Amino acid sequence: MPRSFFVKGIILKQLKVALVSLGCPKNLVDAEIMLGHLPDDRYTITTDESLADIIIVNTCSFISDAREESVDTILSVADHKISGHCSLLIVSGCLPQRYRDELSKELPEVDLFIGTGDAGRLATLIEQCLVDRTPLTDIGKGDFLYDHTTPRLRSSPFYSTYVKIAEGCSNHCSYCVIPEIRGALRSREIASIVDEVRALTRAGVKEINLIAQDITAFRRDFGETGALEKLLRELVQIEELAWLRLLYAYPDHISDELLELMATEDKICAYLDIPLQHFADEILLQMNRRVDQAAIRKLIARIRQAVPDITLRTSFIVGFPGETDDHFRQLLDFVKEGHLERVGVFRYSREEGTPAALFADQITDIVKNRRYHQLMKAQGRISFRKNRGLINRVEPVLIEGLSDETDLLLQGRSIRQAPDIDGKVYVTAGNAEVGQIVNLRITDSSEYDLVGEIVEA
């Protein structure tokens, strides 16, 4: 960028900023907070990286696949520094937070490295980089926690968004680096979350997805129990709120009161995401998970008792050190019993600095891949069968717009489908506005998607 572009450090033109956010919705909220801290008299946001003066890659690094995707993305957008307008490449998020000392040597293309909690200093650091024109690594402690007053430029559709109720995690599962990257559990104030949700729903948001590393640990860092339930009771009072979805619950923190609220409050989606990670007792113990098979079975029975029509999502790790054929058989048989509507499967990733990385009997990639595909296939059959069971039912569906497949169809998500991770509903008859919640009769289904006709807009 020509030095004449600014005088005495003052930027003379509006700079176009493009941001690529990788990883989980918690990281996406951080990305939106970064954009919120860029004064709009100096910066405009573009989704076209080839036109951007500044490109930010908000990275993920919790497992090797995520790290690879982050580095590949950084290297591919770095091309815009040669062929495009880009004169400043910024890398933020979990990769620099975790590898703060090594990265600048390995990625000389990058001009600025910041961490997971440095949004507040972004504008200053950008101007410093533009003036000094020397690469900068400036990574904070990562102990930031936003609230309802924090500037945030939302990137998700107007009708749906994520609200992070806590940051960090103190559960210390033996395979997980998140506590190291994101720090110990830090919960927000209930009043601040209520103010944020009230402002979002008054701005047109219909669906609020509550997220944290473990939402059921909410305010346990203050020695409180029942805080999540208290928060939910306040949130459902908000008139404009339509759907409240709970993501990332820990299996041993699901209270009867929470289930009671899910059973009685229409605004709380009958949907729960509870990562179980495995099912064999020995492996759960090695993972430092505070539940065993019996507890998992009891939990699912309690949930189905309280909310019979609930949609349960979980995630499992295959190939954990010491996982025998019999351990895997136990997991596979459990999945085949069909207790879960949605299952995500991860191949164990040996993460430096975690206890499990030092465990004996590390599993080969061939075995991990075989178990991954076996489990996905088994769950695919279950999901297909469960979706078939929904045909002829009338379900509330949030209309998202024209289908990705064809302009002839509208598409949306039913209350059973979380954003960005679950399937879609394709609308073959009836009309509705984007962001509208309609009643739809399901006429057909596949493994992950549903098809139907609007019966009442």
Sketch the per residue contact string, 357 through 396, with ligand SF4: x for CB under 6 A, - otherwise: ----------------------------------------
Question: Which of 56, 178, 181, 205 touches ligand SF4 by CB under 6 A?
Answer: 178
Q: What is the DSSP letter of 63?
A: S
Identify the H or E element spanning 369: helix 365-388
Question: Which of 214, 323, 351, 422 touches ligand SF4 by CB under 6 A?
Answer: 214
Return the SS3 of 348: coil
| Total residue count of the chain as it appears in this document | 457
Return the SS3 of 157: coil
Number of residues in contact with ligand SF4, rule: CB under 6 A? 10
**Which residues from 94-133 bind ligand SF4, rule CB under 6 A?**
none
d(C-alpha 235, C-alpha 208), whole Å? 10
Return the SS3 of 34: helix
Q: Which is nearer to ligand SF4, 135 or 179 (CB)?
A: 179
Q: Which is nearer to ligand SF4, 184 or 457 (CB)?
A: 184
Reference 310, options 337, 334, 340; nearest CA is: 340
Interacting residues of 259 by C-beta distance below 8 A, sequence separation 6+: 302, 303, 306, 307
CB of residue 97 vs ligand SF4: minimum separation in angstroms?
Answer: 14
Question: Which of 18, 126, 173, 398 touches ligand SF4 by CB under 6 A?
Answer: 173
Question: Which of 140, 179, 322, 338 touches ligand SF4 by CB under 6 A?
Answer: 179
Reference 242, options 284, 215, 205; nearest CA is: 205
Identify the H or E element spanning 200: helix 190-202
Q: Which is nearer to ligand SF4, 213 or 330 (CB)?
A: 213
Q: Which is nearer to ligand SF4, 162 or 250 (CB)?
A: 250
Question: Which of 13, 141, 172, 385 touches ligand SF4 by CB under 6 A?
Answer: 172
CB of residue 79 vs ligand SF4: minimum separation in angstroms?
Answer: 34
d(C-alpha 172, C-alpha 22), whole Å? 23
**Which residues from 237-296 bind ligand SF4, rule CB under 6 A?**
250
Token pair recorded at residue 166: 């806590």
CB of residue 209 vs ligand SF4: minimum separation in angstroms?
Answer: 17
Q: Which residues bind ligand SF4 (CB under 6 A)?
A: 169, 171-173, 176, 178-179, 213-214, 250
